[in-house]
């Protein structure tokens, strides 16, 4: 009898499946099968999970606020007690940080150190001197890593260079338009940094403290330098700012102790406070016509800078602009700001409107030197313009035309004089 019941059941199953079409699937509906999730907190709270500390935010996401472990490889988790980790604020204080590699999961879309400050873009990782390498999940929608360097996903923003990486030379990839705030913060091992044509902006402290750099070529595409961009690049010897840059902000080259030569573009309108402070050996800098304002202590402690020529266009200068520098003589025009600052500070004033013009002295500083060559070269290459006064003394070979032959003649004159 039992055999007959079993046989009947098997026969029924065979009949049921025989009427189903090929490749069909039997689907069973589940009653009340809703996803169970962690409820977001009504107010922020702090939790600890393993070696990580988190802030659980009211949107139901978690932010890493500290790491207390000692691993060489820090793998940031994608979740903490059921909350998705979407942000990293800190992985410990710089002095305590010992890791060499940071691994970011696909869930982390923010690494802002000062998330509460909308004007700051500094990452959470800028002050970790042992850090050599970033690894980012390929599924991460916000970030990627190339050669151990952290970039935005679209590779337009260089977010953070691991300052403990042992390489001495680094070439920023083409396509990068912005070096983010603090990106190369005290990357002291670098002796060469090559910036791509197409780079538009170097944010605040972007290349600060790279004490191994002796020179750096700024691309012609660069338009914006922000506060302290090259501060404490203590071995940098010369710099040429490209045409199109209009401002030298606060402290950009402050404490570049070996900077001796600066070439400013004709587009500069502002040199802000402390811009070149403590550039002790600075002897050559041009102040182009079009410059409107100079802040306080711009050239403080520039002890080798003895004579400067200020343009007619200058409208405002802080009295402390040359404080504790070597400046003793100011050249300029009668009644101008140049004369006023000379009188206030007790400097010798040499009026240019009474001075005999010298052929080839394009910046009117009384001598024909490399500054004049740089100005005429820029003009010949259509990178800048000359005023009528400058054109009058630029035809060095006196053939009636200001062109490349005048630039060559000035260059030959300079080297012959030496």
The predicted pLDDT at position 26 comes to 46
Q: Could you state, in order of their start, the residue ranges of all structural domains in the chain?
A: 358-418
> Per-residue pLDDT for the chain (418 aa), expressed as one digit of tens each?
555 555 565 555 555 445 545 444 444 455 655 555 566 677 889 999 999 999 999 999 999 999 999 999 999 999 999 999 999 999 987 777 899 999 999 999 999 987 667 778 888 998 899 999 999 999 999 999 999 999 999 999 999 999 999 999 999 999 999 999 999 999 999 999 999 999 999 999 999 999 999 999 999 999 999 999 999 999 999 999 999 999 999 999 999 999 999 999 999 999 999 999 999 999 989 899 999 999 999 999 999 999 999 999 999 999 999 999 999 999 999 999 999 999 999 999 999 886 677 899 998 888 899 989 999 998 999 888 887 678 889 999 888 889 999 999 999 999 887 5
Name all contacts of 222-229 with Cβ < 8 Å and 24+ positions apart.
Answer: 222/195, 224/200, 225/201, 225/249, 225/252, 226/181, 226/201, 226/202, 227/251, 227/252, 228/204, 228/252, 228/254, 229/202, 229/203, 229/204, 229/205
Structure tokens at 320: 């402390």
Angle of CA points 238, 265, 182, to nearest 5°: 60
The predicted pLDDT at position 18 comes to 53
Q: At what angle do helices 404-417 and 370-380 cross, to 10 degrees?
A: 170
The predicted pLDDT at position 23 comes to 46
- Answer yes or no: are the C-beta atoms of 90 and 65 closer than 8 Å: yes
The predicted pLDDT at position 119 comes to 76
Which strands form 133-136's sheet, in the order they lie side by side?
A: 73-75, 101-104, 133-136
The predicted pLDDT at position 25 comes to 44
Write the DSSP string, 15-77: HHHHTSPTT-----PPTT-PPP-PPPPSS-EEEEETTEEEEE-TTSEEEEEEE----SEEE--
Q: Look up the pTM and report it.
A: 0.79
The predicted pLDDT at position 32 comes to 57
Structure tokens at 161: 């260079």
Q: What is residue 378's DSSP assignment?
A: H
The predicted pLDDT at position 357 comes to 78
CATH of 358-418, one of 3.40.50.300, 3.40.50.2030, 1.10.1330.10, 3.40.50.10680: 1.10.1330.10
Residue 299 to residue 313: CA distance in whole angstroms? 19
Write the DSSP string, 108-140: --B-BTTTT-TT---BTTTT-TT--EEEE-TT-
Structure tokens at 214: 């002796």
Buried b (16+ CB within 10 A) or exposed e, 84-101: bbbbbbbbbebeebebbb
Minimal CA–CA distance to 128: which of 102, 163, 87?
A: 163
Structure tokens at 388: 């009528």
The predicted pLDDT at position 126 comes to 87
Angle of CA points 255, 256, 260, to nearest 5°: 130
The predicted pLDDT at position 10 comes to 55
The predicted pLDDT at position 42 comes to 72
Write the DSSP string, 238-284: EEEPPTT--EE-TTTTTT-TT--EEE--TT--EE-TTTTTT-TT--E
Minimal CA–CA distance to 109: which of 135, 86, 138, 77?
A: 86
Q: Could you tell me whether strands 45-49 and 52-56 are parallel, antiparallel, or unpaired per DSSP bridges?
A: antiparallel
């Amino acid at each position: 009898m039992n055999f007959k019941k079993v046989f009947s059941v098997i026969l029924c199953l065979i009949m049921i499946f025989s009427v189903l079409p090929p490749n069909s699937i039997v689907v069973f509906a589940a009653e009340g099968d809703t996803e169970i999730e962690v409820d977001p907190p009504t107010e922020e709270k702090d939790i600890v999970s393993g070696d990580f500390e988190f802030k659980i935010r009211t949107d139901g996401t978690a932010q890493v606020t500290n790491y207390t472990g000692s691993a060489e490889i820090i793998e940031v988790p994608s979740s903490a007690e059921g909350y998705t980790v979407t942000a990293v604020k800190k992985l410990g204080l710089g002095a305590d940080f010992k890791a060499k590699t940071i691994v970011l999961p696909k869930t982390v879309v923010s690494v802002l150190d000062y998330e509460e400050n909308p004007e700051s873009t500094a990452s959470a990782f800028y002050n970790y001197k042992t850090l050599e390498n970033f690894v980012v999940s390929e599924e991460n929608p916000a970030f990627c890593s190339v050669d151990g360097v952290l970039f935005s996903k679209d590779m337009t923003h260089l977010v953070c260079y691991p300052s403990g990486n042992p390489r001495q030379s680094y070439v920023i990839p083409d396509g990068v338009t912005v070096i983010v705030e603090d990106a190369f913060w005290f990357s002291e091992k670098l002796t060469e940094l090559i910036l791509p044509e197409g780079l538009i902006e170097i944010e605040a402290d972007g290349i600060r403290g790279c004490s191994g750099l002796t020179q750096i070529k700024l691309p012609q595409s660069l338009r914006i330098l922000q506060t302290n961009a090259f501060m404490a690049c203590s071995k940098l010897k010369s710099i040429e700012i490209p045409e199109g840059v209009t401002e030298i902000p606060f402290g950009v080259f402050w404490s570049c102790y070996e900077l001796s030569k600066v070439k400013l573009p004709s587009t500069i309108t502002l040199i802000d406070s402390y811009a070149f402070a403590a550039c002790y050996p600075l002897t050559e800098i041009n102040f182009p016509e079009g410059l409107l304002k100079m802040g306080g202590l711009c050239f403080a402690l520039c002890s080798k800078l003895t004579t400067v020529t200020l343009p007619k266009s200058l409208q405002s200068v802080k009295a402390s602009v040359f404080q504790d520098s070597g400046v003793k003589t100011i050249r300029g025009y009668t009644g101008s700001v140049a004369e006023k600052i000379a009188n206030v500070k007790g400097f010798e004033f040499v009026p240019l409107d009474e001075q005999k013009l010298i052929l080839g002295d394009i910046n009117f500083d009384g001598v024909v030197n490399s500054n004049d060559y740089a100005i005429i070269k820029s003009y010949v290459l259509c990178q800048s313009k000359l005023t009528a006064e400058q054109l009058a003394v630029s035809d060095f070979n006196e053939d009636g035309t200001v062109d490349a032959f005048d630039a060559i003649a000035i260059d030959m004159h300079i080297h012959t004089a030496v």
